[in-house]
Structure 1
């Protein structure tokens, strides 16, 4: 039987072993800690990388990387700044560890976050003083960053941080200006300064022109918050300042003139802070709103530097169309119902500019300025065309026959030109371009044509009518039947225009609609007066002659006497003209085609400088191909004008 072996360690060995094991454990812990502190790398998807770099307090509801890094430098965090905002901003403002660019951009974003936290715009709650102050502080620090740091704007052209700071500034301006606007009605007409949220706000310095010379808009709409359906493109110019739509007050009672200044005007606002140095700007409590018309101004001068002025050239036009009610009003006008228009109006798409050439657009039957939705927007959106042209849209009652609309539109255009340029010497009063669609194209052609005496053959008079009555009758009717080309026009474009009428005017549906049309009251009174004038002494009761006047649909038929007689009238030799025709599902030769309403043979004009056939229904003016052609023609007109001595 074996004997168990027992052994024991000397008393000094156990403590020594324990110390060795403890040291080993400590080394293992240190090794683990060292391993945890090692740098690790992972890949980020390109879209995540871009989103993280661009994220800021406005777009992502969190501070940007640039501001977080600035806070890290001064031992702060986003959470600590949320809890102790005053202490946080004081630390950032005073810490020597940050450059001016880091400090000012971070402060602008911190104050922007503060403003957004207190802004309940979506709840329609009035902005309180603390929130307004936060927006102004954000704008002030952004303004200081942009114009009063060592590096100029151009040196930071590729800096994402500068783009973010411009965004802070522009949004702060948008919200602050909206708050200023709420105060305007309380200030009267003679104010020069007022106190808001601890700031001295100076009276705005502006070059904006509102309809009827109104001193202030009735409504101010931030353009950044608008989205449009029905417009293909929204044309903007990135730059300094916030974009608005300024809405003019309603027209004064009795202001029934042929022309209409725009009721919806593009506007750019910027806040200027008092001071000539960085220290003065950061110490000031005085601010002024600068208001600019972006059609007139491309730049703004701040601290001796010229900077691009931001703009939105579509917003005002889109709001105007959305609120116009043209769709229903044009139908009421066609049918002669209450609520339609009675006489033509010349609607300016921007405040009158004597130095821009004029493009006049005339819509067609049962239509309105909505016919030009994308055409006008594309012209105003093209920078070269926008710098050189202004658009006037003629809105007229399409129940009246062509001859009467022709005379009244000519009268309205003449009155508009005389109102804005009585001497007729402005660039806007010459080298005009007419663009007409459908019936508007027929009218446009007659505006540049000579009638001579040819149209008098349409009015047979009784041989026994006295010479005096004959002379009075001719004098009264001459404004409709005798005309010469508008001298201000030297180019015209006709789109899907039935110059020789259309057989579709005799279609059953067209005849049914024609029977619903009522002529304007003024036309009926005029015809009744003329009927009285051509009575002879023996005419009584039912024996009196009647002047029959066709409505607009009758007038566009290919058998209508006026259309037949006017089709051959000569166009002024000084006018360059172009045609654009639609071809709707045509498989045969072009001359036998149609746009579904107007035959090619009726729309075609010999002698045109150009003709373009586009696969399209009758509304060819809205097609991208037609818009590109119109842009080409307007550029051609610019070149021609430049070469003219």
Structure 2
């Protein structure tokens, strides 16, 4: 049985007093007269999230696009038939007045992007990018106010739309692509793929890559699809084959073909707002490379850290760090020892990074990633990385480094062709610092006599063996080296290297045949090879770095050349108080400290592997900027890559 509301109200009032019934009646009437507009207080977070609700986050259309749909009577149609709603809105854009065209273009970009996410259709993503480009009108008058939130959103629709429309492998060639409303003819100039006498290939998008293992992940904001590319030497085999071929040709220096280059692809259209409403569009694909991009009205977007991380992942040479320590022949004549990240640009000063024991060049990744974010460093320095078998004798590895640097400088025309090649900075970590020191001293016969205990002239040796000893134990300073940075370097030996466990590990390592044969000849050439106590000398780096070794007792007594600028970065565990008892777990402060350096930074609360410590990186950055400030002439000679190519 149903009851009429008015009857119910009368019966309720009969059970109340007159005053109470009147109050209830008044409240009921007020509720019935409440207006449709309501204002309520929300939190700052809620306010921001409501304003930024967008398809980019995987939601439905944002508030601005919903306004356009409602004003054109298409809100319900969008919910029922999205493709028909987009077609209707596009038709109304052609018939509408100019003031509302930007609003419609933005809405079309977001709605097309939503359809791309929903159906995974490349043509929808491409349409979203084109609509967003027409809304932005980059480089032209009449674009949106940069304070308009839609400005950044439209840039993201453009960038991510291109990423979805041009997945890996990205083919930057002339092509015709379908659109939901027609098609677009895309031109692509093949000449833009030539970079520093290399052919750019293997383009791979980076927008959907998540990088871990790098403390800082850097992006360069701008327009376009962020990519990475491989630079294959022109008129040669593909990049992977080229890398394998050079592994056996005796080269000590090469520009790597395996490191990926941060790149970008833009889709440009002339008069985009007129074109976008037609059925047959014309555009062009334009490639940019990060190191050639100067300040432009339309900056390209890059994911530079992602490019560097992919390089590390694809080469994975850190897996050979311990093999390179135990097997001294790993790098003996089979791998280029000095690798440049990018081709040399005239006027750029080389920085050579030298890793430590049981390590690899990739331990510099965090530092290099941060240093390259400094535009002055990126534009005026070339980064080279030295690889070597870290169990080999230190003088032998230093000789290899010397030969590699000499070959690199000569292959680039020498210091007369480019004076910047005469302003090299060495950055050595741990044992790498000892290799660097061997290149900036002039010991005469002191190092040999102190290590061998007798003059070289007293040994009966064949000419080849004698020459190797002269090359390794009688070094001369390299005039091209202007500055050395020692990081956690055991200048007076490592107490860890003197421990019995380290000595046991040292015995497990192998040495190159040339080194072992030289050692045998030294023993037999000493004239007392029949003596029962005459054994093979301990030549490996572990023995040499022991504070008790003759080599380590002699090397610190030989001064560094006075015209070489030196800096020390010394990590210590904890607060390092007092410094006289501090160490980094491998090297004590007293061993790493040397007098006479231009600067010494003690990095507290840091262990031996301090390359990624922010204070260590900041100090290397300061030193490189100091090097740049003291060589203004080379800075003036530095030029963009394209100019260097010509």
Q: Is 1:308 aligned with 2:299? A: yes
Secondary structure of the 1:158 match is coil
Per the alignment, residue 286 of structure 1 pairs with 282
Query: Using a 3 Å threshold, how does the CA distance of structure 1 residues 413 and 463 change in structure 2: closer, same or farther?
Result: closer
Per the alignment, residue 365 of structure 2 pairs with 373
Give the whole-Å Cα distance in 2 for the aligned partners of 1:385 and 1:556: 33
Secondary structure of the 1:448 match is coil
Q: Is 1:254 aligned with 2:237? A: no
What is the CA deviation profile of residues 83-142 of structure 1, one whole-angstrom value per residue up to 9, with x for unaligned ones? 5245334334224155221122122222222222222xxxxxxxxxxx232222222222
Conserved in 2, the CA contact under 8 Å of 1:264 and 1:317? yes
Give the whole-Å Cα distance in 1 for the aligned partners of 2:44 and 2:575: 49
Which structure has more relative contact order (CA 8 Å, sep 6+)? It is 2
**How far has the Cα of 1:408 moved from its partner?**
0.3
Name which of 184, 193, 200 aligns with 1:199: 184
Conserved in 2, the CA contact under 8 Å of 1:332 and 1:338? no
Give the whole-Å Cα distance in 2 for the aligned partners of 1:66 and 1:146: 16
**How far has the Cα of 1:351 moved from its partner?**
4.3
Give the whole-Å Cα distance in 1 for the aligned partners of 2:468 and 2:140: 75
Per the alignment, residue 135 of structure 1 pairs with 125
Q: Is 1:641 aligned with 2:624? A: no
**How far has the Cα of 1:247 moved from its partner?**
4.3
**How far has the Cα of 1:270 moved from its partner?**
3.0
Per the alignment, residue 568 of structure 1 pairs with 557
Secondary structure of the 1:367 match is coil
Conserved in 2, the CA contact under 8 Å of 1:436 and 1:494? yes
The equivalences for 1:209-228 within 5 A come to 213-217=198-202, 220-228=203-211
Unaligned runs of at least 5 residues, structure 1: 1-27, 120-130, 185-191, 301-305
Per the alignment, residue 88 of structure 1 pairs with 88
Conserved in 2, the CA contact under 8 Å of 1:421 and 1:429? no
Unaligned runs of at least 5 residues, structure 2: 1-25, 232-238, 637-646
Q: Is 1:164 aligned with 2:153? A: yes
Q: Give the total of aligned pairs.
A: 584
Conserved in 2, the CA contact under 8 Å of 1:241 and 1:270? yes
Give the whole-Å Cα distance in 2 for the aligned partners of 1:388 and 1:563: 36
What's the TM-score once normalised by structure 1's chain length?
0.81
Conserved in 2, the CA contact under 8 Å of 1:361 and 1:393? yes
Query: Using a 3 Å threshold, how does the CA distance of structure 1 residues 327 and 149 change in structure 2: closer, same or farther?
Result: closer
Conserved in 1, the CA contact under 8 Å of 2:409 and 2:415? no
Secondary structure of the 2:384 match is strand
Per the alignment, residue 43 of structure 1 pairs with 41
Secondary structure of the 2:469 match is helix
Per the alignment, residue 112 of structure 1 pairs with 113
Query: Using a 3 Å threshold, how does the CA distance of structure 1 residues 233 and 478 change in structure 2: closer, same or farther?
Result: same
What is the CA deviation profile of residues 46-81 of structure 1, one whole-angstrom value per residue up to 9, with x for unaligned ones? 212212222221213311212111122211113155
Conserved in 2, the CA contact under 8 Å of 1:313 and 1:380? no
Per the alignment, residue 18 of structure 1 pairs with none
Structure with larger Rg: 1
Give the whole-Å Cα distance in 2 for the aligned partners of 1:392 and 1:334: 21
Query: Using a 3 Å threshold, how does the CA distance of structure 1 residues 56 and 262 change in structure 2: closer, same or farther?
Result: farther
Measured on the aligned residues, the alpha-carbon RMSD in Å equals: 3.4
What is the CA deviation profile of residues 465-509 of structure 1, one whole-angstrom value per residue up to 9, with x for unaligned ones? 67xx67665434221122222322212110111112123212122
Give the whole-Å Cα distance in 2 for the aligned partners of 1:48 and 1:486: 64
The equivalences for 1:354-393 within 5 A come to 354-393=346-385
Conserved in 2, the CA contact under 8 Å of 1:211 and 1:263? no
Give the whole-Å Cα distance in 2 for the aligned partners of 1:462 and 1:492: 30
Give the whole-Å Cα distance in 2 for the aligned partners of 1:489 and 1:464: 33
Per the alignment, residue 19 of structure 2 pairs with none
Per the alignment, residue 617 of structure 1 pairs with 607
Name which of 538, 551, 556 aligns with 2:545: 556
Secondary structure of the 2:212 match is coil
Query: Using a 3 Å threshold, how does the CA distance of structure 1 residues 355 and 308 change in structure 2: closer, same or farther?
Result: farther
What is the CA deviation profile of residues 528-578 of structure 1, one whole-angstrom value per residue up to 9, with x for unaligned ones? 67778x598xx9999999863511101111122222222222222222111
Per the alignment, residue 263 of structure 1 pairs with 258
Which stretch has the larger CA shift, 457-466 or 603-612?
457-466
What's the TM-score once normalised by structure 2's chain length?
0.81
